[in-house]
Chains A and B, each alone.
Chain A
Amino acid sequence: MSSSVESLVNKEYKYGFVTDIESDMAPKGLSEDIVRFISARKHEPEWLLDWRLKAYRGWVKMTEPHEWPNIRYQPVDYQNLRYYSAPKTGKPFGSLDEVDPKLLETYEKLGIPLSEQKILAGVAVDAIFDSVSVGTTYKAKLAEQGIIFCSFGEAVQEHPELVRKYLGSVVPASDNFFAALNAAVFSDGSFVYIPKGVRCPMELSTYFRINTAETGQFERTLIVAEAGAHVSYLEGCTAPKRDENQLHAAVVELVALEGATIKYSTVQNWYAGDEKGRGGIYNFVTKRGKCAGANSKISWTQVETGSAITWKYPSVILQGDNSVGEFYSVAVVNGHQQADTGTKMIHLGKNTRSTIVSKGISAGQGQNSYRGLVKVLPKAAGARNYTQCDSMLIGNRCGAHTFPYIDVQNSSSSVEHEASTAKIGEDQIFYLKQRGLNTENAISMIVNGFCKEVFKELPMEFAVEAQKLLGISLEGSVG
């Protein structure tokens, strides 16, 4: 049984190809000069360079966290990495017609068409290739409603006042080792601004692609929803198969003002390494949202299937009264993958509510850890949290771990935590086989059922993609 189980979760990585394109690269290594190099390449204003340099000087004094996360790897050699690589295209921020056809072809192979005739209906896409954005679809249409959706680099040029106001306001440059590194060398990413009262008419999406060898990707995403605004955003990620590990250290900041809603979904499918555990992406990501206004809501949904190592805790600071934070997660580890992921819900405002639903699936020799913090501060009267944390084991060489931290500092709040661990049963598989399903479909059905509460939170198109990723057929069309 277990061999067929593994072959299912072990499907060949489809996105492992390399695009042969000439790139403008920074020399290897990290120093103040490299920080200046990146800033200069991006024609940044002085204040931003200063912000980067300050972050860099802070980072130099920090150490890579190896003590508390439940992940094992050799420390990264930061001097042997490249911090900037951009395809040599024409002018920056040009129209999509001017983008190198090789890049368009790359995204088409990934299922993300960017050319005008083929763009996905109802979904605007910002495509990030190594360190830069190669193009953003539906930009003009969104601008009609005052929505800004563009690359981070473009936002720095076109909307410096907004960037300056919110950059680092949720994840300060000094927040942690990887966030500090990102602040120093971040190259591109997406910027979203939804004006007051506007409901974004389509899904916004960024597709991240790492291409160049020995290059890290350090993107930064900033989403600001003004009072009463509403936006749903999705990111997807892939990378070529390479024998050496590649570093991805991103930062995402979300700001929701009074009554605003931000829904942020991730389908992460970075290359996970080969069957011996060689290569794969180190995914060290800091994601945090701030419910700054009353009655605001931030919801994270993540489906994490890739990366050799995943280290991320999409969190919500519930500052506004009655604000709501949600975290829905499916994390799959197989082969030699390791994931230490979860969330932090920080309750500051009155009657704030948070929900955490985490589904961990471990197969092969994978190690999956849920790590979550629920913190309720003295002024957060009437705060409520519900946490559900389920693990599924496939085979007997993998592991599931749970590290919940609960810190409640007032007496009118309630915190609930439920956890379960189950092994996918031979009896369950046999039952479905006896009804005519083959092993692959049987496991798909069981895993799909296990993840259902999370998949139903994803936008429809991406729910399909996520289920395909797990080799799962779509459920729920009947009954």
Chain B
Amino acid sequence: MLNIKDLRASAGGVEILKGINLAVRPGEVHAIMGPNGSGKSTLAQVLAGHPAYEVTGGSVTYLEQDLLDMEPEERAQAGVFLAFQYPVEIPGVSNAYFLRAAYNEIRKARGMEEVDSMDFIDLLEEKLKLVEWESEIMSRAVNAGFSGGEKKRNEILQLAVLEPKLAILDETDSGLDIDALRIVAAGVNKLRSQDRSFIVVTHYQRLLNYIVPDHVHVLSSGRIVRSGGKELALELEARGYEWVEAAEAMA
């Protein structure tokens, strides 16, 4: 589904990703872990096409397409979804209106008919249950005045509505209390399927107790320095990031 080869990227002239290699097959959940500044969030942003990052080398193939050659909205329409670490506020635009616009853009791009507001409300009711939310949230402006937890929950609601093929969760656990974490993780687990892949970017092992990954990768200074199964996350938690960084320095 996704094939990243020797990906290099920089921001403001500083190289952050220094040759990332990663292959994600349909249905797999990959966790990307690493200390602050290792390039985790940059990887997520680069895959989504954030204009602040410049790709300086390598390739990314997504469903046989050159992902790096696509505009951010084309990636979204092709089924790439990024759950933001810091979801943005759009004052004056209701959550329902925003979500229906996004849903219809993606349907249009796939040659499907747009849905009207009545049908969309039915669809929403269904998806709201997934994140244990009441429909009143839909009339509030997008993320405006939302708590940190509400913003993250809103990202998972969008994920549920837009039904991507590849979902990238960028530190979705940061700033969540334990109840919100449980709700968010449960929502993600219900969305796991054979043809939907996840890249879960996180600093802490905690989230991975709830969203159990198939593969864990450790990022350090812009490179994947270690890959393994879910037990790698536990080992990291026990031994700290110095352990992999030291191992890398030795190598």
Q: Using CB atoms and an 8 Å cutoff, list the residues of chain A in contact with chain B.
A: 1, 425-428, 430-439, 441, 445-446, 448-453, 473, 475-479
Interface assignment of B37: CB less than 8 Å from any CB of chain A: no
**Which residue among A1, A435, A449 has the maximum number of chain B CB atoms within 10 Å of its CB?**
A435
Inter-chain CA distance A12–B72, complex, in Å, is 27
Within 8 A of A (CB), among B85-111: 87-98, 100-102, 105-106, 109
| A-B contacts at CB below 8 angstroms, number | 100
**Which residue among A432, A446, A478 has the maximum number of chain B CB atoms within 10 Å of its CB?**
A478
12 sampled A-B residue pairs with Cβ under 8 A: A430-B72, A432-B98, A434-B73, A434-B75, A435-B102, A436-B73, A436-B109, A436-B162, A437-B105, A445-B93, A448-B93, A452-B92
Chain A's nearest CB lies how many Å from the CB of B192? 21
The one of A436, A439, A446, A479 in contact with B90, judged by C-beta atoms closer than 8 angstroms, is A446
**Which residue among B49, B71, B94, B100 has the maximum number of chain A CB atoms within 10 Å of its CB?**
B94
CB-based contact A435/B76 at 8 Å: yes
What does DSSP make chain A's interface, helix, strand, loop or mixed? helix
Q: Using A437-B101, A441-B101, A479-B139 as known contacts, say yes or no to A448 and B92 having CB atoms under 8 A apart.
A: yes
Q: Using A450-B91, A475-B93, A476-B94 as known contacts, say yes or no to A431 and B84 having CB atoms under 8 A apart.
A: yes
Inter-chain CA distance A1–B96, complex, in Å, is 26
Q: Which residues of B contact A439 (CB under 8 A)?
A: 73
**Which residue among B75, B95, B142 has the maximum number of chain A CB atoms within 10 Å of its CB?**
B142
Chain A's nearest CB lies how many Å from the CB of B71? 7
Q: Using A475-B97, A476-B97, A477-B97 as known contacts, say yes or no to A434 and B92 having CB atoms under 8 A apart.
A: no
Please tell me the number of chain B residues within 8 Å of chain A, measured between CB atoms: 41
Q: Using A449-B93, A478-B121 as known contacts, say yes or no to A426 and B101 having CB atoms under 8 A apart.
A: no
Task: Report the 3 A-B pairs with minimum CB-CB distance, sorted nearest first.
Answer: A479-B96, A449-B92, A449-B93
**Which residue among A433, A436, A439, A452 has the maximum number of chain B CB atoms within 10 Å of its CB?**
A436
Chain A's nearest CB lies how many Å from the CB of B85? 11
**Which residue among B92, B98, B102 has the maximum number of chain A CB atoms within 10 Å of its CB?**
B92
Given A434-B72, A451-B92; 12 other pairs, CB 8 A cutoff: A431-B84, A433-B76, A434-B49, A434-B76, A435-B162, A436-B73, A445-B101, A449-B92, A475-B97, A478-B94, A478-B117, A479-B138
Interface assignment of B77: CB less than 8 Å from any CB of chain A: yes
CB nearest neighbor in B for A447:
B92
Interface assignment of B146: CB less than 8 Å from any CB of chain A: no
B124-142, CB under 8 A of A: which get 1 and which 0?
Answer: 0000000000000011011
Inter-chain CA distance A349–B142, complex, in Å, is 41
Interface assignment of B48: CB less than 8 Å from any CB of chain A: yes
CB-based contact B76/A450 at 8 Å: no
Interface assignment of B52: CB less than 8 Å from any CB of chain A: yes
Inter-chain CA distance A431–B76, complex, in Å, is 11
Inter-chain CA distance A450–B90, complex, in Å, is 8
Inter-chain CA distance A312–B202, complex, in Å, is 54
**Which residue among B72, B76, B88, B106 has the maximum number of chain A CB atoms within 10 Å of its CB?**
B72
The one of B93, B96, B102, B162 in contact with A446, judged by C-beta atoms closer than 8 angstroms, is B93
Inter-chain CA distance A434–B48, complex, in Å, is 7
The one of A426, A437, A476 in contact with B102, judged by C-beta atoms closer than 8 angstroms, is A437
CB-based contact A431/B100 at 8 Å: no
Q: Which residues of A contact B102 (CB under 8 A)?
A: 432, 435-437
CB-based contact A438/B73 at 8 Å: yes
CB nearest neighbor in A for B139:
A479
Interface assignment of B204: CB less than 8 Å from any CB of chain A: no
Q: Which residues of A contact B97 (CB under 8 A)?
A: 475-479
Chain A's nearest CB lies how many Å from the CB of B97? 5
Interface assignment of B206: CB less than 8 Å from any CB of chain A: no
CB-based contact A435/B139 at 8 Å: no
Within 8 A of A (CB), among B20-62: 48-52
Q: Which residues of A contact B87 (CB under 8 A)?
A: 431
Chain A's nearest CB lies how many Å from the CB of B219? 21
Interface assignment of B201: CB less than 8 Å from any CB of chain A: no
Within 8 A of A (CB), among B137-153: 138-139, 141-142
Q: Which residues of A contact B142 (CB under 8 A)?
A: 449
Q: Which residues of B contact A448 (CB under 8 A)?
A: 92-93
Q: Which residues of B contact A476 (CB under 8 A)?
A: 94, 97
Interface assignment of B211: CB less than 8 Å from any CB of chain A: no
Chain A's nearest CB lies how many Å from the CB of B115? 10
